[in-house]
Amino acid sequence: GAGVSQTPSNKVTEKGKYVELRCDPISGHTALYWYRQSLGQGPEFLIYFQGTGAADDSGLPNDRFFAVRPEGSVSTLKIQRTERGDSAVYLCASSLNRGREAFFGQGTRLTVV
Amino acid sequence: QQQVKQSPQSLIVQKGGIPIINCAYENTAFDYFPWYQQFPGKGPALLIAIRPDVSEKKEGRFTISFNKSAKQFSLHIMDSQPGDSATYFCAASSGGSYIPTFGRGTSLIVHP
């Protein structure tokens, strides 16, 4: 695709439910990042993939958050037992192998009610 | 612990003015400093980036100034236009992790 694609663009879920957020990176980009952005704040790092493996997951806030990238392309961020504090825009970015330019998708706005 | 500190939080200028946004960092391993522009409802878009081997980089109306000894860098927007109204983020990454660390952002409004 031409750019990083994230689906859905908006997700409303009830507290305690499970959600999955999808990211399609730019074709050929081996590095993939997930960030979380709260209102009025900068993107906050969650997890970084290089290929299929999570090279750095130090930003995941707790064990309710998990992400996979089984074939080294599409990635899914999974949140279990959602809480109202999880409400934010979840951003995905990709870059070429060891490339510094990260290209972002439009984000998924998650609202937990 | 905020690794990249950005100021001001918000900025209002008249059309044609030169807004300046400043960032400071502590981690001396950082060696790549991009700036991102974000419009409401959109993801951040890379605007311009600099490496510490140069003190200034210019692309169109956007200029980054870099002071390695002070561990500071700034974005200048020449001849600002209402269409430049957006939130701007500075970021930094190192060769060790390649993970961009972002500042908190500056909301810029350019009045016609």
Enter the DSSP assignment of A1.
-
- Subunit contact A106:B103, Cβ cutoff 8 A: no
A41: nearest CB among B49, B98, B105: B105
Can you tell me the distance from the alpha carbon of B105 to that of A106, in angstroms, rounded to the nearest whole number? 17
Check residue B99 and give its pLDDT: 87
Check residue B1 and give its pLDDT: 55
User: Strand A108-112 relative to strand A88-95: parallel, antiparallel, unpaired?
Assistant: antiparallel
Set of chain A residues whose Cβ sits within 8 Å of the Cβ of B44: 43, 91, 104
Residues A112 and A57: beta-carbon distance below 8 Å: no
Kindly report the number of other CB atoms within 10 A of residue A22's CB atom: 15
Check residue A108 and give its pLDDT: 98
Check residue B42 and give its pLDDT: 93
Check residue B18 and give its pLDDT: 97
Residues of B with CB under 8 A from a CB of A: 6, 32, 34, 36, 41-46, 49, 89, 93, 97-105
Q: Before B52, cis peptide (omega within 30)?
A: no
- Subunit contact A48:B93, Cβ cutoff 8 A: no
pLDDT, tens digit only, all 113 positions of chain A: 589 999 999 999 999 999 999 999 999 999 999 999 999 899 999 999 999 998 899 999 999 999 999 999 999 999 999 999 999 999 999 998 767 889 999 999 999 99
User: Strand B56-59 relative to strand B4-7: parallel, antiparallel, unpaired?
Assistant: unpaired
Set of chain A residues whose Cβ sits within 8 Å of the Cβ of B49: 100-101
pLDDT, tens digit only, all 112 positions of chain B: 568 999 999 999 999 999 999 999 999 999 999 999 999 999 999 999 999 899 999 999 999 999 999 999 999 999 999 999 999 999 999 887 788 999 999 999 999 9
- Concatenating the DSSP letter of every residue in A9-40 gives SEEEE-TT--EEEEEEPPTT--EEEEEEE-TT
Residue A87 identity (one-letter amino acid): S
Set of chain B residues whose Cβ sits within 8 Å of the Cβ of A104: 36, 43-45
Kindly report the number of other CB atoms within 10 A of residue B93's CB atom: 21
Enter the DSSP assignment of A41.
S
